[in-house]
Amino acid sequence: MWRAGSMVAWVGSRLQAPPSTLSRSLICAQTKIFGCDRVKLMESLVVGDIAELRPNQGTLSLFTNEAGGIIDDLIVINTSEEHLYVVSNAGCWDKDLALMQDKVKELQNTGSDVGLEVVDNALLALQGPTAAQVLQAGVTDDLRKLPFMTSAVMEVFGVSSCRVTRCGYTGEDGVEISVPAAEAVHLAMALLENPEVKLAGLAARDSLRLEAGLCLYGNDIDEHTTPVEGSLSWTLGKRRRAAMDFPGAEVIVPQLKGKVQRRRVGLMCEGPPMRAHSPILSTEGAMIGTVTSGCPSPSLKKNVAMGYVPSQYSRPGTLVLVEVRRKQQAAVVSKMPFVRTSYYTLK
Between 9-18, 188-197, 198-207, 250-259, the lowest mean confidence (pLDDT) is in 9-18
219-236 residues labelled b (16+ CB within 10 A) or e (exposed): bbbbbebbbbbbbbbebb
Between 25-29, 168-172, 282-286, the lowest mean confidence (pLDDT) is in 25-29
Q: 110 CB contacts (<8 Å, ≥6 apart)?
A: none
Task: For residues 289-304, give the mean pLDDT.
Answer: 96
Cα distances (Å, whole numbers) of residue 134 to 9, 66, 137, 205, 347: 11, 44, 6, 19, 21
Whole-number pLDDT of residue 205: 87
**Over 70: is that where the pLDDT of 280 sits?**
yes
DSSP class of 326: T
**What pTM did the predictor assign?**
0.92
Cα distances (Å, whole numbers) of residue 59 to 28, 81, 165, 236: 16, 17, 11, 11
Whole-number pLDDT of residue 200: 86
Give the up-direction half-sphere exposure of residue 102: CA atoms within 13 A in the CB hemisphere.
8
Q: Supply the DSSP string of 169-197, one letter for each residue.
A: SSSSSEEEEEEEGGGHHHHHHHHHTSTTE
Whole-number pLDDT of residue 28: 77
* Residue 14 CA from chain centroid, whole number: 19
Burial class (CB in 10 A: 0-12, 13-18, 19+), 252: buried
Check the annotation: does 117 bind a ligand.
no
273-262-90 Cα angle (round to 5): 65
Whole-number pLDDT of residue 204: 86
Tell me the CATH class for 261-346.
Answer: mainly beta
Q: Supply the DSSP string of 227-274, one letter for each residue.
A: TTTTT-GGGS-HHHHHHT-STTHHHHHHHTTT--SEEEEEEEESSSPP
Q: Tell me the pLDDT band of 203, cut-offs 50, 70 and 90.
A: confident
Alpha-carbon gap, residue 267 to 306, rounded angstroms: 6
> In percent, how much of the chain has pLDDT > 90?
85
Q: Tell me the pLDDT band of 15, cut-offs 50, 70 and 90.
A: low
Amino acid present at 83: H
DSSP class of 143: G
* Residue 99 CA from chain centroid, whole number: 19
Mean pLDDT rounded to a whole number for the chain: 92
Give the up-direction half-sphere exposure of residue 27: CA atoms within 13 A in the CB hemisphere.
11
Whole-number pLDDT of residue 9: 67
Q: Which CATH architecture has domain 7-210?
A: 2-Layer Sandwich (3.30)
Provide the terminal-to-terminal Cα distance of the chain, rounded to the nearest Å: 40
- Could you tell me if 123 and 177 are in contact, meaning their C-beta atoms sit under 8 angstroms apart? yes
- Could you tell me if 235 and 308 are in contact, meaning their C-beta atoms sit under 8 angstroms apart? no
Alpha-carbon gap, residue 211 to 299, rounded angstroms: 8
**Over 50: is that where the pLDDT of 26 sits?**
no
Amino acid present at 246: F
Delimit the domains of the chain by residue range: 7-210, 261-346
Render pLDDT for 29-49 as a digit per residue (tens, 0 to 9): 999 999 999 999 999 999 999
Element (H, E) at 96: helix 93-109
Between 1-5, 187-191, 272-276, 330-334, the lowest mean confidence (pLDDT) is in 1-5
Q: Tell me the pLDDT band of 16, cut-offs 50, 70 and 90.
A: very low
**Over 90: is that where the pLDDT of 18 sits?**
no
Render pLDDT for 214-240 as a digit per residue (tens, 0 to 9): 999 999 999 999 999 999 999 999 999
